[in-house]
Every structure is written in C-alpha cells, then in structure tokens.
Amino acid sequence: MNIYIVIPAHNEDHYIGKTLQSLVEQTLLPKRVVVVNDNSSDKTQSVVEEFTLKYSWISLVNSESSDIHLPGSKIINAFNKGFESLDDNYDIICKFDADLIFPNNYLEQITSHFITNPKLGMASGFCYIEKDNNWIIESLTNKDHIRGALKAYRKNCFEQIGQLKGSMGWDTVDELLAKYHGWEILTDETLHVKHLKPTGKSYNKASKYLQGEAMYKMRYGFWITLISSYKLAYKKGKFRLFRDYMSGYFKAKSNKTQFLVSKEEGKFIRDLRWKGILNKLT
C-alpha cells in the first residue's frame, strides 16, 4: 500500500528534524512525505530542506498564513496545501504533527491493520509525553479516539467523509462521519508515539470557545454538549473550561453558525453519542 504523509509545521525547528528522522528510519518507508512550512519565522524551512536533499520522497511546500494559532482552521488549511501538491496514487493518507517521534515499525504495523481489515477506515497508535524523565500516556489519549496529531486514513474513507474540515473538532467529526459511512476505527496501544509538545500548548487564548462551537457545528444538541463539556473540562483539570465550552456553544447557536454535518449525519452522531454515554452508565 502506498503511504502519503502531510505534515503541517509552524515554527517547529526544534522538533521537525526528529519527526522526519523517525520516518526515514521506518521498516516500511512512505512513498511521499510533504512538509508544509506554514508561515514559520524560525529555521523550520532549512531543517526540512536538509532532508529534501537526502531523500527524494520528502518535499517542502511554503505557505503564508496568520501567526495566530487557532486549532482546526490553520492546521487543516496547511494540510490541504500539502495534499494539493500530491498525486492521486496513494492508498493511505496521513496527517501527522511536526513534533512526533514514531517507533520504527509504526507505518508497517498501521499498513498491516489496513490490509488485514478491509473495513478499517482510520488507524493510529497512542501518544506519550515526557514527564519527570518518563514517557507516560498523554491524558487526551484513549482507545476510542484517534488523536489529531497522528491520523491515517484509507483512501476510500478519506474521500467519503469529504476529506478534512477546517474547523475545531475536525479530528472528531472525521471519525463520526467514518462510522456513519460504515468504516471501523482502530487504535493500536502497542504503538507508542512520543509527542514532544503537549496538545494545545501554542493555542491562542481565543480558541477556548471553539470547542463548544465545534460541538454545535457537529449537531450535538444541548444535553450532549453539556455532558461532553463537563467531561472534557474534568479530564483537563480546569473547570473554567466547562464555562468556556458552553459559552462557545451558545455563541455559535446565537450566530446561527454553519453546521459541519447534515441533519441525517447529525442524528446519527447524536444517537452514537447517547449510546456511548448510556453504555458507560450501565
């Protein structure tokens, strides 16, 4: 299976070299890797160019955008620019962050999962962060969700879900739409990926309302948004986030913000969410 990888990178000169080095050391090499230098003001471009000189299958795309790091739109816009530079001869398309170190069997194992299960639409490993000189599982990682940092899609699934949405919540709605179209999701807990920069570290303060907005745009409705907001705020250990998430939801509702999914898809998503909530209560 041909693996194509797109890596958006904004001021990642401390990390991108380690990410690319872990990819060139894979037991199964990707066919193409595109790094999108997204308006970086550091040495990201020069670090990537060193790899492009050594490996013909690694390329660089320079992109201009805002310095404001809002989750969703900025990174997906960069991904799309990289994706547009590729041809159509891929079987698996990956969106990876620029601050990851992959075990050397990562791509081989992910590909094996796709080959073994024709119904598998998305797959990933687990993210680990360094704390007190130990690598521990990142708090937002769980077996039911593929982190936005390391997405791998089967081509047919990627096309059926309409590719990636330029909005906060893109890495949840993609999974929900994949399930809507009958695809399965897999997380392989044996694949430990080192996440060098914790999620959300560079997000702009304005992004705090976008989580609730995303829940509105996914047609969660009030009660699922309430439960999901509380759960996420609790998981992050910051109750004030619950207030921010709910404010974002009501602002989006008041402004009649455009939905990311259709009414039919929204009903499927709500039914799926309620099923998950009820299963955890029983």
| Domains contained in the chain, CATH given | 3-195 (3.90.550.10), 206-281 (no CATH)
| Cα 181 from chain centre | 19
Which one has a higher pLDDT value, 140 or 269?
A: 269
pLDDT digits (tens, 9 = 90+) for 4-29: 999 999 999 999 999 999 999 999 99
Q: What value does the mean pLDDT of the chain take?
A: 91
For residue 69, name the pLDDT band (cuts at 50, 70, 90).
low
* pLDDT value of residue 71: 63
pLDDT digits (tens, 9 = 90+) for 174-205: 999 999 999 999 999 999 999 998 765 544 45
Letter for the amino acid at 120?
Answer: L
For residue 220, name the pLDDT band (cuts at 50, 70, 90).
very high
* pLDDT value of residue 59: 98
Alpha helices, DSSP H, located in the chain: 16-24, 44-54, 73-84, 106-116, 155-160, 170-180, 210-217, 222-236, 240-254, 263-281
For residue 64, name the pLDDT band (cuts at 50, 70, 90).
confident
Q: Is the pLDDT of residue 268 over 80?
A: yes
For residue 73, name the pLDDT band (cuts at 50, 70, 90).
confident
Question: Cβ of 167: how many Cβ atoms within 10 Å?
Answer: 20
Classify strands 100-101 and 150-154 as parallel, antiparallel or unpaired. Answer: unpaired
Distances (CA, A) of 273 to 5, 62, 277: 30, 39, 6
Closest alpha carbon to 188 in 128, 245, 110:
110
Q: Is the pLDDT of residue 132 over 90?
A: no
* pLDDT value of residue 30: 98
Strand partners, 34: 6, 59
